[in-house]
Structure formats: C-alpha cells, structure tokens
Amino acid sequence: MSSLPQPWQDLAAAARGGRPDRVPVALIVDSPWMPGFFGMNTLDFFLDTAAWLNAYLELARRFPTVAFLPGFWVEYGMANEPSAFGARVVWHADQPPALRPLALPPAQWADLPQPDPERDGLMPLVLRRLERLEQGGLPEPHRIRFAAARGPLAVAAHVLGMMPFLEATALEPEATSAALSIFTDTVIAFLRAQLARLREPLGILLLDDLPGLLSPQSYDALAEPFLQRVFDAFPGRIRIYHNDTPCPHLLTRIGRLRCEAWNLSHQVGLAAARAAVGPRLALMGNVAPLDMLVRATPARAGAEARRCLREAGHGPFILSAGGGLSPGTTAEHIDALVRAAGH
C-alpha cells in the first residue's frame, strides 16, 4: 500500500475534524477548466486518454501541495449519470457537453428505468477507464482517492429539465419523490461501482447544487432524505458535499447532513456558516472562483484567501474556491492560494 501523500493526509485530517499543521488546499477541477488551462480542444480532453492523463499528472507536479478533487476524474461534463436515462448529449469543442432533457410528464416519472452502471449510458466507460488506470495506467505513487457523482437532484434536473423539476417539487411532490428515489439508487450504485475499482480510496464527492434552490420545507421533504441516503450508504468514508448555490436559508439543515465536509458558495460567509452548522462539519472554500481567481490579480486573490483563513476561525477548514475552478483560472492564482495557506 502506498503511503498517503501529504496533501491528502492534510485533507483527510481536516475532513475528520482535525487541525493539521498546515491548512489543506483542495480544488475541484474538471472539464470546464482543465482543457483551457492546458490549451486543449475539449473533445480531445475526453478522447485522448494519454493527453488527459498527462494533464492531471502535470497538475500534481506543478502544485505538489494541492489536493485536486476528486483526482483523475473520469467525467464527461454532467453527462455520466443522465446519459443512462436517455438524456441527449450534445458535444462541443470548447466547452463541456450540454444535455437535452427528456420531455416526460410527472405522471410518468415513477416509471423511469433503474439504470445499471455496468451497462447503461456513459457510466460503463467511466468504470472501464477507472479499471485501466488503477490496474497500471497510473504511475506510482498516484492513486484515485475519491469516487464522484452528481447528486440525485442534479441528475433529476438534467434528465427531466430544470424548470419542470423545480415546478414539480411544489406541484407534484409524490412524482418528484418517486423520481428522486430512482436517481438516488443510481447515484449510490455508481459510486459503489467506482469504489470497487479503486485501490486505496478515501471517500466520495457528491455534487448537487439544486437543493440550494428549494424552500426549507421542500428541502426537508425532497432533498435531505435523498442526500442523506447517499451519504449513509458510505459509512466510514470521507464524504464531501459540493453545493455552491447561495443558500443562507438552509445552513442549519446542511449542518445536519451526515457528511464530513461541505464545499460552499463564496456568497455564504464562513463565520455565518460555522455558527449555523456547528463545529463538526469541515467547511471547504471560500474564495470567489470567478471574481477572485479569474478577474482579480493573484495578489488580490491571495489577500482574499488570507481573509477567508481568518474568518474560518477554529473549526475544521479546507482552503478552496467557493465552487469548482472557473475557466480562466491561472497557475499564478493557484500559487496565491498555496502561499496564503503557508505551504
């Protein structure tokens, strides 16, 4: 078994409620940012597996103290899970693929098929890539540390359409709940299939911004139970929840989730979040990904990172963007975060 590299040791310690000697820096990186950063056609990023791998290896070499989440992420934009339900995938050379949702009335949502991650949509391709990487495709000592999936509400929005889904949360709660149960089972099965292929996984990354758009009442009925079902399926793992929708009305509710870390919106103050969620949950953020890490100078981004460190107080904290990295983020901006953390 390989020894856990220091960035992942620091991340794991903070996520489990500790205070490592140095503040972890972790960044969610994927196809919206990486092809542009490396000057690649987005289609080549997906198709040229050697170039894709070299890009991730170069990130690890260039920023040795940063944990890039989930790490060697085999993804096709948002299409991994929705493609298994028949959502059309529309490919682009300069951005991640778009999705065309199904035209399906709520009365038919309970009859959605239950996909098999080993057979349906793009998920089997993801799983096979993971197998190849972990069976010799990754040079030592690299590992894929986290399985990753979109959360059940995010999958619902891409399969059923954002506005039809949000309208149904208010007008068709039974149909919405039935669909979310199917999507939740799919997410759990996909994460389990990924973990089964990883040699030394630390945990899961669940990405679902949609709960932040719900009222507290709708969140209680149609978000928390399904998010909780996903997290409860992976006891003992580090469970990171990404939701960078501004949701100050849900802070105490997110604090109830049985996960270890929350990547929150930069529009939610760290002090307010800590006061609401309590001392257990590690907060991951909270530098504005566009205004600070793209539009501002690296010096200004570094100053903002130091402000976040001060505001984070004494609870467990992981320095990051308040969301995934935005297209246009430079190496110098990442360097600024690393310096602010004292690496």
Portion of the chain with pLDDT greater than 90, in percent: 98
- Provide the residue count of the chain: 343
**pLDDT at residue 297 greater than cutoff 60:** yes
Of 198, 201, 191, 110, the residue nearest 150 (C-alpha)? 191
DSSP 67-91: EEESSS----TT-TTGGGGT-EEE-
Strands (E), the chain: 25-28, 66-69, 88-90, 98-100, 146-150, 203-207, 238-243, 261-264, 282-287, 317-321
Is 1 within a domain? Answer: no
pLDDT bucket at 17, cuts 50 / 70 / 90? very high
Please give the residue range of the domain that contains residue 298: 6-340
Q: If we measure between CA atoms, which residue out of 72, 239, 61 comes closest to residue 143?
A: 72
Arithmetic mean of pLDDT, 63-80: 97
C-alpha distances out from residue 286 to 111, 166, 270, Å: 40, 27, 7
Three-state SS for 51? helix
- The pair of structure tokens assigned to 70 is 């989930």
Are the C-beta atoms of residues 197 and 126 closer than 8 Å to each other? no
Cα angle for residues 143, 146, 152 (degrees, 5° grid):
155
What percent of the chain clears pLDDT 70, i.e. is strictly above it? 99
> Do the beta carbons of residue 266 and residue 248 sit within 8 Å?
no
Helices (H) and strands (E) in the chain, counts: 14, 10
The model's confidence at residue 3, banded by pLDDT at 50, 70 and 90, is: confident
Residue 207 included in any domain = yes
User: 231-265, pLDDT tens digit by residue?
Assistant: 999 999 999 999 999 999 999 999 999 999 999 99
- The CATH number of the domain where 190 resides is what? 3.20.20.210
Q: What is the pLDDT of residue 313?
A: 84
Torsion of CA 127, 130, 134, 138, to 10 degrees: 160
Q: If you average pLDDT over every residue of the chain, what do you get?
A: 97
Q: Are 25 and 343 in contact (CB under 8 A)?
A: yes
- For the cut 90, the answer to whether the pLDDT of residue 5 exceeds it is yes
151-206 pLDDT tens trace: 999 999 999 999 999 999 999 999 999 999 999 999 999 999 999 999 999 999 99
Does a structural domain hold residue 12? yes
Asked if residue 164 has a cis previous peptide bond (ω within 30° of 0), the answer is no
pLDDT value for 314: 83
Nearest to 302 by CA among 327, 329, 332, 263: 332
Q: Is residue 163 exposed (0-12), middle (13-18) or buried (19+ Cβ within 10 Å)?
A: exposed
Say yes or no to pLDDT of 213 above 90.
yes
Q: Per the structure, how many domains does the chain have? A: 1
Name the pairing type of β-strands 261-264 and 282-287.
Answer: parallel
List the one residue out of 45, 20, 24 whose CA is nearest residue 35: 45
- Whether residue 217 lies inside any domain: the answer is yes
The helix (H) or strand (E) run that includes residue 265 is none
> What is the average per-residue pLDDT within 81-86?
98
Report the candidate in 52, 15, 13, 244 with the shortest Cα–Cα distance to residue 132: 52
For residue 107, what pLDDT is reported? 97
What is the per-residue pLDDT for 1?
A: 46
Are the beta carbons of 308 and 274 closer than 8 angstroms?
no
Strands 98-100 and 88-90: antiparallel
Please state the rounded mean pLDDT for residues 281-299: 98
Say if residue 2's pLDDT is above 70: no
- Answer yes or no: pTM beyond 0.85: yes
CA distance 117 to 189: 7
